[in-house]
A and B are shown apart, each in its own frame.
Chain A
Amino acid sequence: MSELCFEARRLEYAYGGGPAVVRDVSLSAGQGSMTAVIGANGSGKSTLIRMLAGLLRPRSGTIELDGVAFDKWDARLRARRVAYVPQATATAFPFQALEIVLSGRAPHAERFRLESGRDVEIAMEALESVGAAHLARRAFIGLSGGERQMVVLARALAQEPRLLLLDEPSSSLDLKHRTDLIRTLLRLRRKNGVSAIMITHDLQLTGAFDQILALRCGEIAALGKPEAVLTEELLGEIYGDPKVRSQRVGEQTLVWVEL
């Protein structure tokens, strides 16, 4: 499989005729790179990642995947390269969790064919790798928010993408599953060179990433290595609170806010 080259330049987006909610944001992802996107609520993070996933068309700016404009790609071929995990998925019908995961095989399936036994194996492996194999036969609709998030992540893994776009996947996960999520991303990078761009409010998790992109009011407030971005000065500016504290502990940075 060829190396990933994902490049977004000077993206801008506005809903309807309103003011721009993302302005002049450029971002690239190479083979095996891991980028965390942080910022206060309403700073444009989700809008940005939805543009990167091809769900929103930027008002201006370009997105290229492997040197080809994003919207010039055949949608199914693109889906074999880039997978997207939304903030929350709610289905109106009681699909089984395994059926949700199998949908990730759709971009790989031949036209007018059901998925093969191999596809089912890949889907089960994906469920196992996120520790959710026991949910396979359960109705997705009846799962807890965290369990659904694991199943949707497994769906994205079954897609066998080169780049994962994750919109706050950790928000409804417990401490162990948050850590497991990061371990899964690190393992995928090590084994298959999979890259990730992940939105998170969980600053503790961002220490494992290569770079952090911090958004403030739709613009880039900082872009750099975790230890360079997770400083009291920058974080205070990003979140608009002078009482943000951060401290390096070994390899990680602890961040909290004084009451």
Chain B
Amino acid sequence: MTDTGRRLAAALGILTMVLLASMVVGLLTGSQHIELGRVLSDSMSRTLFFRLRLPRVLMGLAIGASLAVTGAALQALFRNPLADPYTLGVSGGGALGASAAIALGWSARVLGVPLVFAASFAGAMLAVGSVRAIARRGAVVLPGALLLSGVVVNLIAGACVLTIQYLTDPESALRILRWLIGSLDVVGLAPVGRMAMVLAPAWVALLALSRQLNLLAIDEDTAATLGVDVRRCERIVHTLCALVVGVAVSAGGAIGFVGLIVPHAVRAIFGEDLRILLPGSLLGGAAFLILADALARVALPASELPVGAVTGLMGGPLFLWLLHRQQRFSMI
């Protein structure tokens, strides 16, 4: 077996164990104590476990995996270690779409797809498109321009959300606010199942592009002369990332920095190769958000913290540290 093969096997093995362990922690953590032995016999415990605890853990898995894998893919695509759905404004665009849908009272579904999902995807796609259009004026994406345009797209989206909140009725405004803070709270398994139907195929499609993304992460011209159709690959990855982030954000709110923290941790342990980093981030992101959510539930004695606050408090400083390190290589 080659070195890459060994590292891939180690990453998949170890991170799967970590994910399983984090799921156990997530299932056992909460304001109510559940004895696992009584889940099947006691109806109260059963309801708590299957209607609340398990869906919440699965929600953390789906959203954490989505944000982390898109972070890793966007970093490779833009050759920028600071790229992530949050810093590029993709989450912000998704949040704007979802806020608009909530304010308009769109609880309906079209062809089984909730309109909040669709609006969030549209917002995320718009953000990806505009960030790219601004950053890519010429042959190369300038790293500094990319992040600046991401910041500005976030600011614009934030201003639009504020405007919507101001104009809408107080009840919708409160719903938008609660949703923006970000939460994995969910009742029953059905919503998680619906998300999985969209997310799982998109994850698989992203993983299938890991060889191309690995070549793109090295250098764009190199990738092109090694047989990668760069423009086509970019279009597909953009669309997949907007879709995955749109769905994740419409379900859990804007949870920041997961796409930054997890890929960098996986990199530090298992190396740069995107064929390891993408599946590693998928598993690691799921485990990370489940644990962050468990921490959010028990950090305060009387109530729970928003999970977005936990990831933000961890990810913000990491972003600054990465920026500091980048400056030394003067690549921004």
Using CB atoms and an 8 Å cutoff, list the residues of chain A in contact with chain B. Answer: 53-55, 74-79, 82-84, 86, 89-96, 99-100, 102-104, 106-107, 109, 111-112, 114-117, 119-120, 141, 155, 159
B226: A residues at CB distance < 8 A: 76, 79, 103-104, 106-107, 159
User: With A and B bound together, what is the CA distance between A112 and B8 in angstroms?
Assistant: 13
A95: B residues at CB distance < 8 A: 217-218, 272-273
Is B79 part of the binding interface, using a Cβ–Cβ cutoff of 8 Å? yes
Give chain A nearest CB distance to B32 CB in angstroms.
44
User: With A and B bound together, what is the CA distance between A99 and B217 in angstroms?
Assistant: 12
Give chain A nearest CB distance to B130 CB in angstroms.
22
User: With A and B bound together, what is the CA distance between A83 and B221 in angstroms?
Assistant: 11
A75: B residues at CB distance < 8 A: 224, 227-229
B4: A residues at CB distance < 8 A: 99, 102, 114-115
Is B211 part of the binding interface, using a Cβ–Cβ cutoff of 8 Å? yes
Is B3 part of the binding interface, using a Cβ–Cβ cutoff of 8 Å? yes
In contact, A100 and B218 (Cβ under 8 angstroms) = yes
B143: A residues at CB distance < 8 A: 92
Give the residues from 7 to 35 in chain B that come closer than 8 angstroms, CB to CB, to chain A.
8
Give chain B nearest CB distance to A211 CB in angstroms.
23
User: With A and B bound together, what is the CA distance between A100 and B4 in angstroms?
Assistant: 13
In contact, B208 and A112 (Cβ under 8 angstroms) = yes
In contact, B329 and A141 (Cβ under 8 angstroms) = yes
Other-chain contact of A84, B81, B214, B221 (Cβ < 8 Å): B221
Is B107 part of the binding interface, using a Cβ–Cβ cutoff of 8 Å? no
Give the residues from 175 to 226 in chain B that come closer than 8 angstroms, CB to CB, to chain A.
208, 211, 214-215, 217-219, 221-222, 224-226
Is B51 part of the binding interface, using a Cβ–Cβ cutoff of 8 Å? no
In contact, A54 and B218 (Cβ under 8 angstroms) = no
> A96-B271, A103-B222, A115-B2 given. 8 additional CB < 8 A pairs?
A53-B221, A53-B225, A75-B227, A84-B221, A91-B217, A95-B217, A96-B272, A111-B211
In contact, A114 and B2 (Cβ under 8 angstroms) = yes
In contact, A120 and B227 (Cβ under 8 angstroms) = no
A155: B residues at CB distance < 8 A: 222
A119: B residues at CB distance < 8 A: 2
Report the count of interface residues on B (CB-CB < 8 A). Answer: 33
Other-chain contact of A92, B211, B273, B331 (Cβ < 8 Å): B331
* Max chain B C-beta neighbours (<10 A), residue from A89, A92, A119, A120: A92
* Max chain A C-beta neighbours (<10 A), residue from B1, B218, B329: B218
User: With A and B bound together, what is the CA distance between A106 and B275 in angstroms?
Assistant: 12
In contact, A116 and B227 (Cβ under 8 angstroms) = no
Give the residues from 264 to 307 in chain B that come closer than 8 angstroms, CB to CB, to chain A.
267, 271-273, 275
Give chain B nearest CB distance to A3 CB in angstroms.
21
Closest to B79 in A: A92
Give chain B nearest CB distance to A141 CB in angstroms.
7
B211: A residues at CB distance < 8 A: 106, 109, 111-112
21 A-B Cβ contacts within 8 A? A54-B225, A74-B227, A76-B226, A84-B225, A89-B219, A90-B219, A91-B79, A91-B217, A91-B219, A92-B79, A92-B331, A93-B217, A95-B272, A99-B271, A103-B218, A103-B226, A106-B215, A114-B2, A114-B275, A115-B4, A120-B2
User: With A and B bound together, what is the CA distance between A142 and B217 in angstroms?
Assistant: 17
Is B5 part of the binding interface, using a Cβ–Cβ cutoff of 8 Å? yes
With contacts A54-B224, A106-B227 taken as known, whether A117 is within 8 angstroms of B218 at the C-beta atoms is no
User: With A and B bound together, what is the CA distance between A76 and B4 in angstroms?
Assistant: 22
User: With A and B bound together, what is the CA distance between A77 and B229 in angstroms?
Assistant: 13
A102: B residues at CB distance < 8 A: 4
Is B80 part of the binding interface, using a Cβ–Cβ cutoff of 8 Å? yes
In contact, B229 and A94 (Cβ under 8 angstroms) = no
Give chain A nearest CB distance to B24 CB in angstroms.
31
